[in-house]
Amino acid sequence: MEEAKLDSKSKSIPNENLRFGERALSAGGAAFISAVIVNPLDVVKTRLQAQAAGVPYQGSCRLGCFDSNSTLVHDLRSSSSPGMCRITGSASVCSDHQYKGTLDVFCKIIRQEGFSRLWRGTNASLALAVPTVGIYMPCYDYFRNRMEGFTTEKSPTLTPYVPLVAGIIARSLACISCYPVELAKTRMQAFKGTQRDVKLPGVWKTLVDVINPVKGSSNGQNYRMLWTGLGAQLARDVPFSAICWSILEHTRRSIFSFIGEEPRAGSIIGANFTAGFVAGGVAAAVTCPLDVAKTRRQIEKNRDRAMTMTTRQTMAEIWRDGGMRGMFSGAGARVGRAGPSVAIVVSFYEVVKYGLHNFHQQ
C-alpha cells in the first residue's frame, strides 16, 4: 500500500502527452541558464586541477619535481620516481601565480586576467550543455518510464533501482555524442591567458589545435585525439548519474509525499531544486577523484601519453604525486558548482514540463 502511494506521487509530475522535442527544448533551456550561472566555478575547479597536474605557471614560475637524489625532473607528469614536487623560480612571481584555494583563484583571475575570464569557455559550455542535457534528460525520462512500467508489473523489487540504471544509460549516450566539445571546454578553461586584451582561441580553434600538432600519422589517428579521455569522462559521469538520480528521485518523492497535495508549479520547483541541490552535491563530492583524472587526461598535450594512458594509471599517478589532497583538487568548487547546476536544470525542466502538460490539456 505504501509502495503504491509512493509510486503515485512519483507519477504526479506529468509526463504523458509530451513529445521528445518538447522535453529536449525544456532541458536545453535549463542547461543554458545553468551553464551561464555556474561557469565561473567550473573555471575555478579546472584551474585548481590543472595546477595540481603540473600545468606551467606564467613567467619564470613552474612546478618541478625532485627525485630522492635532489635531481630536478623537468615536470610533474614525467616524474616516475617518488620524490618531492615544489614550485621553482622567483618566490614573488610564484606566489603571485600559484593558486591556494577557491577564493584565491577567483581573486587572481579577476586581478590578472580580467573579470570576464571567469566565463572563459562559456560558449563551449553552452555548445556542450544544450545538446547534452537535451539528450540526457528526455532519454532519462524515457528509460525510467519504460523500465518502471516493466518492473512494476514483472518484478516490483527492482523498481527502486530503475533511476540508477536509467541515469547510467542516458548519461552515457549524451557523453559519447558530445565529447569533443567537452574536451575543448576543459582545455579552454585550464590554460590561462597572458594578456588581458588578447583574444583567446575559441571552441573550433581549440579542437583544431588538438589535431594539428600531431605529425607523421594518418588523419584517422589524428582525429582519435578528439576522444582522448573519453574513458575517464565515462568513468566519472556514469557513477555520478547513478548516485545523483538515486538520491534525487528518493528525495523529491519524499518531499511530495510530505507535502501531500497535487503538485503545483511552486511545489514542483521547490521539491526538485532541493532534491537536485542535495543529490548533485553528494554525487560531485563522491566522484571528485574521477573528475581530477578526467581533467588531467584532457589537458595532456603529449600525444604518446594521451593515447596510451588509462584512467587507472592516471589515478595512480595523481595519488603518487598529491595523495588524498591531489585526488580532491578543486573539490570545493566542484561541489559548489554541481549542487546549483543540477538543482537549476532539474527544477526548470520539470516546471516547463508541467506548463507544457497544462497547455496540452487546455
pLDDT value at position 354?
87
Query: Among 101, 163, 112, which residue's Cα sits nearest to residue 137?
Result: 163
CA–CA gap between residue 28 and residue 37 (Å, rounded): 14
Instruction: Name the more confident of 280 and 98.
Output: 280
Q: What is the pLDDT of residues 163-175, one digit of tens each?
A: 999 999 999 998 9
> 71-80, 121-130, 146-155: lowest mean pLDDT where?
71-80
For residue 38, give the 3-state DSSP assignment: helix
Q: What is the pLDDT of residues 45-64, one digit of tens each?
A: 989 988 887 765 444 454 44
**pLDDT confidence tier of residue 325, bands split at 50, 70 and 90:** very high
| Contact between 34 and 129 (Cβ < 8 Å) | yes
For residue 155, give the 3-state DSSP assignment: coil
What average pLDDT is seen over the chain? Answer: 79
Instruction: Please state the pTM of the whole predicted model.
Output: 0.76
**pLDDT confidence tier of residue 92, bands split at 50, 70 and 90:** very low
CA–CA gap between residue 333 and residue 330 (Å, rounded): 5
| Contact between 207 and 184 (Cβ < 8 Å) | yes
pLDDT value at position 134?
83
Backbone CA torsion sign across 272, 276, 279, 281: negative
Compute the average pLDDT of residues 315-338: 92
CA–CA gap between residue 35 and residue 37 (Å, rounded): 6
pLDDT value at position 39?
87
